[in-house]
Amino acid sequence: MGAEIRFNPLANSDLQGIKEYIAEDNPDAALKIIRDIIAKIETLKAFPEMTPLLSSKIKQKGKYRFLVCGQYLVFYFYEDNIVSVQRVLHAKRNFAALFLDDN
């Protein structure tokens, strides 16, 4: 049995925003991109620790990992056999500011 995938409300909002933004120009592409992102996230069920820790890219303490999905990055952590998807952001976005540790 694989890990359970859970999306927090911000991740769901991110996916909805991505879909709406792309759908303004191309509704079919929007659906395909969202399906592709979700399919890639589903691979984490079998291999939840296959991706690097976020701390390998930015100075950030913690357990966050990231998964590359085309032009998007999925930020999650894995604990107690649960993959908790926290954010889905465009790779060009300044995501570091969202995850910097204030301590």
Q: Write out pLDDT tens, residues 10-52.
A: 999 999 999 999 999 999 999 999 999 999 999 999 999 999 8
Pairing of strands 82-90, 72-79: antiparallel
> Are 69 and 37 contacting, i.e. CB atoms less than 8 angstroms apart?
yes
Is the pLDDT assigned to residue 2 strictly greater than 70? Answer: yes
- The per-residue pLDDT for 78 is 96
| Total number of domains constituting the chain | 1
| Global pTM exceeds 0.85 | yes
Contacts of 97 (CB under 8 A, 6+ apart): none
Determine the structural domain holding residue 29 and report its residue range: 4-99
Of the ranges 52-56, 64-68, 85-89, which one carries the lowest mean pLDDT score? 52-56
Q: What is the rounded CA–CA span in Å between residue 75 and residue 53?
A: 10
Is the pLDDT assigned to residue 1 strictly greater than 80? Answer: no
CATH code of the domain containing 77: 3.30.2310.20
